[in-house]
Amino acid sequence: MPRTVRDVVFVDGVRTPFGKAGPKGMYAGTRADDLVIRCIRELLRRHPELPGERVDEVALAATTQIGDQGLTLGRVASLLAGLPKSVPGYSIDRMCAGAMTAVTTVAGGIAMGALDVAIAGGVEHMGRHPMGEGVDPNPRIIAEKLVDPSALVMGQTAENLHDRFPELTRERSDAFALGSQQKYAKAMADGKIQADLVTVATRSQELGWGLASADEPPRPNTTLDDLANLKTPFRPHGRITAGNAAGLNDGATASIIAAEDTATELGLPIGMRLVGYAFTGVEPEVMGYGPVPSTEKALRRSGLSIDDIGLFELNEAFAVQVLAFLDHFGIADDDSRVNPWGGAIAIGHPLASSGVRLMTQLSRHFAERPDVRYGLTAMCIGIGMGGTVIWENPNYTGAAA
C-alpha cells in the first residue's frame, strides 16, 4: 500500500514549575511520576476535543530510569493519568534531549501513518535520582582511551569548551547568564511564562501541604558582581560557576503531537509545524559543542540556512555552550531572537524534560510573532551529542516591513 508522508504538528505543551533539587527543594516529597502525570492530565483538561482513545502513544523520557522514574514510565503514567488502558506507552533516554527525542520519535510514527496523535514529554527528579545513580560505566571507556575522564562530568566538559575557544571568556558567560535572569524576570512580569505552567500539590514533613505555582530556581536580583564572585567547582580558577550554568532541578513536561490532518479533524490548535530535525555526535569531552553540527545537519536536510531562522530556543545547560553556538553562526551574544524569555540558567534544566519546555516556549513566541516563519530548538546532550528541531510558524503572514 503506497504511503504518503504526513505533516506533523505541535499542538500544545505544558510543564510543571521547575524546582531546586535536594531536600529543601519544593518537590523533595513529591514523586517523579506524579509530576509528569499532572502534565498529561492538564493537557487533556485543556483539550477536551481530544478523546483519550484517540491518543495512540505516550512517550516519556527520563535520564535516570530507576525508582519512580522507571517501570516503562510512558505506560504507567498513561494509566495513572486516566487514559484508556488501550493506550500504549514507553520510555526514552537520550539524557538531556530525552523529551526532544520523545517528540521526534513519535513524529516519525505520525509522519509514516502508524500514529495519529501522541503525547510526548519527560521528567527528571534530580533530587531523588542524581544523574548517574545506579549506572556502571564500562571501564574500557577510560582504559582504552575512548574518552577523556572529563567526558563523564558535564561541568568539566564545559571547562574544556572554554579551553578550546579562549574567546568564550568567563566574563562573556557571566554576562549571558545575567541576561537570561533578566529576560526571564521581565517575561514573568509581563505574564508570558504563566500559560506554560500547571500547578502541583506538594508535601513537606516540615511545612505540610503546599502548591507549586512558580519556578523555584530564578534569581532575578543577580548582578555581574555576584556572578564574578562565585567559585569554580570543576577546576581551580576555572570559568564554570553555579551562576553561568543551569542548576540541578526537578520538573516535568508533556506535549500533544499530531498529524496535521488529524488535528484539523479534531479541532485541535496547531502551534507549530515540524520542518525537520537532526541529532549528531561530537567528542564527548566537548559535549556542549553538539548543537553546532546538529543544527548544520538539520538546516541542510531541510533546505534552509541559518538566516531563515527567526527565533532560537537554545537550552542553556552552560552559558559557554550557547556562546559557542552563537559564535559559530555569527549571532551576537545579546541577539533578541535568542531565548527571548530567558533560558535554563534562570528557569532550570531538569534534564530529560527540557526539550519540550523549549518547544512549548517557541510555540508561544510563534503565536505572538506572525512575522517569523521558522524557529528552532536545540540542545547539547551528555556523552557528546547535539540535537536540533526546526519548526514552522502556522501563523506566518509575511516578514515585517
Active site residues: 96, 349, 380
CA dihedral (313, 196, 191, 347) in degrees, to 10, reads -60
**Which grid cell is 95?**
539524557
Q: What is the rounded end-to-end Cα distance, in angstroms, of the chain?
A: 47
Amino acid at 143: A
Closest CA to 371 of 396, 391, 394: 396
Residue owning grid cell 549571558? 176
* Cα–Cα dist 81/75, whole Å: 10
**Which grid cell is 66?**
530507576
Is 306 within 8 Å of 390 (Cβ atoms)? no
Q: What share of the chain is helix, strand, coil (3-state, %, to 5)?
A: 40, 20, 40
Closest CA to 324 of 149, 177, 184, 173: 173
